[in-house]
Amino acid sequence: MAQPNSSAGPDPSSDPASSGKGWEGPAIPPILAWLIIVGVGFGIWLLDGLAGMRPENVEPWGWRLLALFVPTVLSLMLRPMPGGACVLVALIVAVVVDALPPGPGQSARPIEAMETALGGFRDPTVWLVLAAFFISRALIKTGLARRIALTFVRILGHNTLGLSYALAASDTVLAGMIPSNAARVGGVLLPITRALAELYRSYPGRTAGLLGTFLMLTLYQVDVMACALFVTGQASNWLAARQANEIGSPIPVGYGTWFLYASVPALACLVLIPALVFRWTRPEIRSTPEAAAFARSELHLMGRLSRGEWIVLAAFVGVCGFWIADASALNTTLIALSAVGLLLVSGVLTWQDCVSEKSAWDVFIWYGGLVQLGKLLGRAGVFQAFSEAMAERLAHWHPAALFVCLLVVYFYSHYAFASITARILAMYRALALVLIAASLPVPLVLFALAYFSNFAAGLTHYGTTPGPIIFSLGYVPQGTWWRVGLLLSFVNIAIWLTLGVVWWKVLGLW
């Protein structure tokens, strides 16, 4: 058994998480990606112009917008350039090719068209996501997020399994407020996890199996489940919530309702995941008393809670409490922005902190643009036409069988995606409308699809942003990652479709 190395610790300068660098999608040359993206767009366009395949209930401008929307989703998967840039270009092209609803005349005038294209940036939910990123910046800046993680390690980290539960508990708590799983994992938990592995001389390669493989794999798998537990689990959840509310969920999809219906199945999975990963990876080190001592030492160096931490803690608790109490999107946004205002006035956050929060502004651009594109596609009748055509073909299926089948298809389709966002855009609304047309309960469909959007990311090492960051460290072989991800998928799906469905029945979701 390896002995602990008290001097070991990660070099922040070499840490992909701290540098912000990492593989974010399939390794495909940009020129090939653009050829695929543009080719698909022209192909859809020509289906109407040459083959006349546009459904009668879809507006002509809506078909042009579809020919732009599908390539935009592809660009988020293939990543020839950052997601925000892809969506911004799509909005510009939508104006140029007249893929927007016409004004009083035959087409929208340039000024009116630009106002329509940029309309998503007025949406309160877009500002809510931006505000949540600023609050998460304060959590990380003040050290409160790290303190929370180290406290769990000090309490639970006396053995290897307990150490993994400390990481799970830390990520779960932070997911309640930090909407970026890359920030939670890459900025807070991964440096601690790496330090703990190296404390026991477990490094990438020959000694990875001592402790590092187990901890890294557990960190990722519990993170994707924490993403499903809270609407703030990752940024795309707000997109799913927005689409659910636009479809017409009789139960508003907000912070409190999302957590309530996810709580029992998600927490059950979070309890099982570390134990199962432990069994399937068999770390050689089983006792880790030095990990708890390491956390205790780090907490001692941090000292008592600072003024900034107290203010952020009050904002954290207050915002979550008000969000649970009020599901209104407008009030939810006002609450979050009020918290940001408090942090700015108190000096805990500076305006430079907000301006330099690159991830927040990137999400603001792609999220606002996609909200508007999705809204316009719905207005053009595209989603309704698709759902009616699919519902007609699947009319002979029993609703329960159709529900399970499409959920499973939706789940395992994530093998083809390197982005939760792209899959939500490509499939969420369309599958939801098909299931609703089959007379399945609307809230059941909308919430189930939203939750399945998240933990499917555990299948691969590219399923969501923290995956490439952790994988790049070299602790987990790709075969091990995929094997454990597949095995966990069977367990997670079984829990959500049994315990989850019963829980939803108890709460009256169906």
Which phi and psi angles does 347 have, rounded to 5°? Answer: 85, 0
Residue 207 CB: number of other CB atoms within 10 A? 18
Among the candidates 82, 117, 152, a domain finishes at: 117
What 3-state class would DSSP assign to 377?
Answer: helix
| Mean pLDDT, residues 286-303 | 90
pLDDT for 21 equals 37
| Mean pLDDT, residues 79-84 | 83
Question: Are 151 and 80 contained in the same domain?
Answer: no
Does residue 52 carry a pLDDT above 80?
no
pLDDT for 382 equals 79
pLDDT for 311 equals 94
Question: Are 284 and 393 contained in the same domain?
Answer: yes
| Mean pLDDT, residues 225-242 | 91
Position 340 in a domain: no
Q: Are 252 and 327 in contact (CB under 8 A)?
A: yes
pLDDT for 222 equals 96
pLDDT for 326 equals 64
> What secondary structure letter does DSSP report for 235?
T
The number of angstroms, rounded, from the C-alpha of 324 to the middle of its chain's C-alpha atoms is 20
Residue 505 to residue 193: CA distance in whole angstroms: 38
pLDDT for 104 equals 58
Among the candidates 117, 135, 165, a domain finishes at: 117
Question: Are 272 and 402 contained in the same domain?
Answer: yes
What confidence tens digit (pLDDT) does each residue in 356-388 have?
988 889 888 888 888 888 888 878 887 777 777
Q: Over pLDDT 90: what percentage of the chain?
A: 38
Residue for token pair 């020129």? 31
Does residue 9 carry a pLDDT above 60?
no
Smallest CA-to-CA distance from 364 within 24, 92, 134, 183 is with: 134
| Mean pLDDT, residues 295-320 | 90
Q: What is the largest CA-CA distance in the chain?
A: 78
Crossing angle between the packed helical segments 358-380 and 60-78, to the nearest 10 degrees: 150
Average pLDDT, the chain: 85
| Mean pLDDT, residues 486-495 | 96
Position 248 in a domain: yes
Question: Are 423 and 489 contained in the same domain?
Answer: yes
Does residue 17 carry a pLDDT above 90?
no
For the chain, first and last CA: distance in Å?
52
Smallest CA-to-CA distance from 188 within 243, 214, 226 is with: 226
Which phi and psi angles does 456 have, rounded to 5°? Answer: -65, -20
| Mean pLDDT, residues 176-188 | 84
pLDDT for 23 equals 38
Does residue 231 carry a pLDDT above 80?
yes
Question: Are 82 and 151 contained in the same domain?
Answer: no
Does residue 50 carry a pLDDT above 50?
yes
Question: Are 93 and 173 contained in the same domain?
Answer: no
What confidence tens digit (pLDDT) does each residue in 117-176 have?
888 888 887 888 888 889 888 988 998 988 999 999 999 988 999 999 999 999 999 998
Smallest CA-to-CA distance from 15 within 270, 195, 161 is with: 195
Higher local confidence (pLDDT), 419 or 213: 213
pLDDT for 1 equals 47
pLDDT for 502 equals 96
Does residue 105 carry a pLDDT above 80?
no
- Give the pLDDT band of residue 103 (cuts 50, 70, 90): low
pLDDT for 22 equals 39
Position 110 in a domain: yes
Question: Are 408 and 296 contained in the same domain?
Answer: yes
Q: Backbone dihedral region of 380: left (phi > 0), alpha (psi from -120 to 50 degrees) or beta? A: alpha
Question: Are 176 and 111 contained in the same domain?
Answer: no
Position 279 in a domain: yes
What confidence tens digit (pLDDT) does each residue in 417-456 have?
777 888 888 788 888 988 998 889 999 999 999 999 999 9
- Give the pLDDT band of residue 322 (cuts 50, 70, 90): confident
Question: Are 95 and 149 contained in the same domain?
Answer: no
Question: Are 149 and 95 contained in the same domain?
Answer: no
Position 328 in a domain: no
Most confident of the ranges 17-26, 73-82, 264-273, 450-459: 264-273
Position 291 in a domain: yes
pTM of structure: 0.81
Question: Are 205 and 63 contained in the same domain?
Answer: no
**How many domains does the structure of the chain reveal?**
2
- R_g of the chain computed on alpha carbons: 23
Position 376 in a domain: no
Position 368 in a domain: no
Least confident of 105-114, 237-246, 310-319: 105-114
- Give the pLDDT band of residue 308 (cuts 50, 70, 90): very high
Measured CA to CA in angstroms, residue 449 lies from 201, 401, 425, 432, 462 at distances of 42, 15, 12, 7, 20
Q: Are 33 and 80 in contact (CB under 8 A)?
A: yes
Does residue 259 carry a pLDDT above 60?
yes
Full domain range(s) for residue 175: 143-305+381-506
Question: Are 173 and 107 contained in the same domain?
Answer: no
pLDDT for 456 equals 92
